[in-house]
Chains A and B, each alone.
Chain A
Amino acid sequence: MPSDPLQLSAVEIVAAVRSGDLTATACTEAFLDRIARTNGTLNAFLCVDREGALARASDVDARRRAGRPLGPLAGLPVGVKDALCTADLPTTCASKMLAGYRPPYDAEVVARLRRADAVIVGKTNMDEFAMGGSNENSAFGPVANPWDTSRAPGGSSGGSAACVAADMAPVAIGSDTGGSIRQPAGLCGITGLKPTYGRVSRRGLVAFASSLDQIGPMARSAADCALTLEAIAGHDPGDSTSLTDAVPDYSRMLDKPLTGLRIGRVPEHFAAGLDPEVARGVEEAFAVFRELGATVHDVRLPHAHHGIPTYYLIAPCEASSNLARYDGAHYGHRAEPGGGHRAEPGKGHRAADGRDADATAAFESPLVEMYCRSRAEGFGPEVKRRIMLGTYALSAGYYDAYYAKALRVRRLIRQDYLDAFESVDLIGGPVSATAAFPLGEKTGDPLAMYLVDMYTVTANLAGVGGISFPCGFTAGGLPIGFQLQAPALAESLLLNATDRFQSLTDWHRRRPPLAV
């Protein structure tokens, strides 16, 4: 067993802790030290719980020495996206609205991680309320991509992706509403799984778009994702949309041969707009799958190109409703009377840009004024934009033309998947059109940022699962991601196919040349 825990996979770590070759304490210390050295450069963690993590690890070690049973993730350091509630750590969703907020309960996934004896090392950075594709919408500063710190890690789970890529944790938890696990995983060269809608409980996940949100694992390999998914998936009475289907032993199905597996390839994915280097990487990945015994077939998803406009109606509509709960009364930021200019502890350009002349002259009551000012001060520009867009699309006279229309197109998009999966087992293709883009490149153009999700949103609209993993590198040394999508509840096949790919390639073993 190598002495450096940073070099071990999650599967190796839990085996070593169980056998006594590695203590949970030594392992946790190694990752905490790595975080201490790299977080100043990457800003992947919004909060690090050194004390809590070491106490947890020491408890695992004590129980092992006493011969008491250990959970399946015993001693495994995990980073948790700051969109998941943690009763012992702040949960901010990277928003000033929730700065310092301490929820009264743990998210179901967090509770399951704890029951599995995982060691939560901290909360990872993200786009505010998970709205964004670059992590630049965080109220607490962007995350840097470990492969090139002048570039974005993707988003919204950018902190989770960067922390795994930079060996700050072997596993992180992300959430994916339109690609927020898969796209940053692709841009950071790691493996990220968005399970089928309902496979993992959303209770305690700060809601963005409830019919699209899904939590999933992000790690270096399919095997590590499988181990983590086994611990977090399954029905939860506290989330009535969580599925009651039994959770398979994903780890045991990883090495099944792919002989005869039919993988769909969507010709439209390779139309103009796809970077040629990414296209080459993706085509080479198809070749690897052929080598593994799979066959590749062209399939059509005729309505997939309507995915972005459909998503950018449905998600903002749901968000405008979900985010109505931030009212300055129950929890979160509250504007005080006459305090419109007294910005929160928050600093930076966002706090400044809302402080010029007030456009809303009269409020119907002091209560409404408190609501409006609290929300204006607490939310950043992208969150405001989406609330406004959703409110507009749901308002009288527009509901049928926008929201209901988008729901009809959503059915067509889902039907495309059902039809395609009649003739293929999985659909493969790019995760995003380009490798990691420079920080700042898209921040001035909301619509350009929305398009980064073009290959990923349709899986959320249809409710199916998808996984992304590295399939090559650009000449400039940036990871290229490959995406597989599967019918509902075929996570075992996604993980199996990815694991077989990773048995033949070593892209997922590469580490960024991060100078710290």
Chain B
Amino acid sequence: MSSASPSLSRQDVAKVALLSRLALSERELDHLTGELSKIVGFVSQLADVDTSAVEPLAHPLDSQNVFRDDVVTPSLTRESVLRSAPRHDGESFLVPAVLGETGAA
């Protein structure tokens, strides 16, 4: 990270929007380009902290893997889960076609 404040272009932000799976309007894109540049500029001050001898800390606990016995336990019923789905056929979640065909399920 350079200590010079990075700036995001409108094109950068459009790319991040696609990676984020967010359809943005032109106006949102304009706003976010300014806002994100400002925020990224702000967080970039961390570049000035010397961390050359410091390991990343991803988690506050010095956690170790937690094991459990591999036994079958009750789980949610299909019905209770599908109840919340925007579209389903009683067995599966329905989504628009992924391959080849067009049109939504």
Contacts and interface: CB of A to CB of B under 8 A. Distances in A.
Interface of A: 101-105, 197-198, 211-212, 237, 240-241, 243, 303, 306, 309-310, 312-313, 320, 324, 327-334, 336-337, 340, 353-360, 365-373, 375-376, 379, 381, 384-385, 387-389, 391-393, 395, 401-402, 404-412, 414, 446-447, 450, 460-464
A359 B39 contact: no
Contacts, number: 209
B22 A375 contact: yes
Given A358-B25, A384-B32, A329 B93 contact: yes
Interface residues of B, number: 62
Nearest to B54: A408
A408 B42 contact: no
Given A104-B77, A366-B97, A402-B43, 17 more contacts: A212-B60, A241-B61, A241-B63, A312-B39, A312-B43, A331-B85, A359-B25, A365-B96, A365-B99, A367-B96, A387-B22, A391-B19, A405-B46, A406-B43, A446-B35, A462-B60, A463-B60
Given A370-B95, A388-B16, A409 B46 contact: yes
Interface string B78-92: 001101111100000
B45 interface: yes
B51 A356 contact: no
Nearest to B87: A334
B66 interface: yes
Contacts of B25: 353-359
Contact of B51 (A328, A357, A395, A408): A408
Main secondary structure of the interface of A (DSSP, over half): helix
Interface of B: 1, 8, 12-14, 16-29, 32, 35-36, 38-40, 42-47, 49, 51, 54-61, 63, 66, 68, 76-77, 80-81, 83-87, 93, 95-99, 102-104
A362 B93 CA distance: 25
B24 A359 contact: yes
Contacts of B32: 384-385, 388
14 contacts: A104-B83, A241-B61, A312-B43, A324-B21, A356-B27, A367-B95, A370-B95, A370-B96, A379-B22, A395-B16, A402-B43, A410-B57, A411-B57, A463-B60
A402 B1 contact: yes
Given A104-B80, A411-B54, A411-B55, A388 B86 contact: no
A309 B104 contact: no
A324 B19 CA distance: 10
Contacts of A309: 42-46
A388 B17 contact: yes
B1 A104 contact: no
A385 B16 CA distance: 11
Contacts of A197: 60-61
A476 B37 CA distance: 37
A420 to B, nearest CB: 16
A138 B60 CA distance: 29
Contacts of B97: 365-367
B60 A389 contact: no
Contact of B1 (A376, A401, A412): A401
A64 B35 CA distance: 58
Nearest to B84: A331
Contacts of B1: 401-402, 405
A372 B86 contact: no
A356 B84 contact: no
Contacts of B81: 104, 330
A237 B71 CA distance: 13
A334 B14 contact: no
A317 to B, nearest CB: 10
Contacts of A409: 46, 49, 51, 54
A392 B40 contact: yes
A405 B60 CA distance: 16
Contacts of A241: 59, 61, 63
Contact of A353 (B27, B35, B38, B59): B27
B46 A313 contact: yes
A355 B20 CA distance: 18
Nearest to A210: B59
